[in-house]
Amino acid sequence: MTITLNDLVRVLTECAGADEDVALTAQKLDVPFTDLGYDSLALLETAALMKQRFGATLTDEDVTEIETPREFLDRVNHAAAQAA
């Protein structure tokens, strides 16, 4: 099972709230999270919920290094594959 952008958007919104002005779409996969208005705490929270939902563990170091939604999906899918 692949964790998709839709999954990320759902979890991110649940963790860090919605903002209609800066919606995360496929066109923004390479826009840094900071430009999308998500700070490091929002990503830590999202990573924690990803673990609960998908069993994919991202380390705090992973979360610190991740800058864009594409990187997040790459790393979290890699972690999910390793856990499986």
Partner 1 sequence: MTLATSAAQETPERTERPTAVITGIGVAAPNGLGTEQWWQATLSGASGIGPVVDYDASRYPSRLVGRIAGFDAAEHIPGRLLPQTDRVTRLALVAGAEALSDADADPAELAGQDGYGEYGCGVVTSNATGGFEFTHREIRKLWTQGPQQVSVYESFAWFYAVNTGQLSIRHKLRGPSGVLVSEQAGGLDAIGQSRRTLRQGVKLSLTGGMDSSLDPWGLVSHLASGRLSRSDDPATAYLPFDTRAAGQVPGEGGAMLVLEEETAARARGARVYGEIAGYAATFSPRPGSGRPPGLERAARLALADSGLPVEAVDVVFADAAGLPVADDEEAAALRSLFGPYGVPVTAPKTLTGRLYGGGAPLDVAAALLALRDGVIPPTAGIDRPVPEHRLDLVRGAPRDAPLRTALVLARGHGGFNAAVVVRSARAA
Instruction: Supply 17's token pair.
Output: 């709230």
Binding mask 51-70 for partner 1 (x = CB under 8 A): xx------------------
Binding mask 15-54 for partner 1 (x = CB under 8 A): xxxxxx----------------x---x--xx--x--xx--
Contact 44, 60 (CB under 8 A): yes
Contact 31, 68 (CB under 8 A): yes
Contact 16, 38 (CB under 8 A): yes
State the residues that interact with partner 1 by CB under 8 A: 14-20, 37, 41, 44-45, 48, 51-52
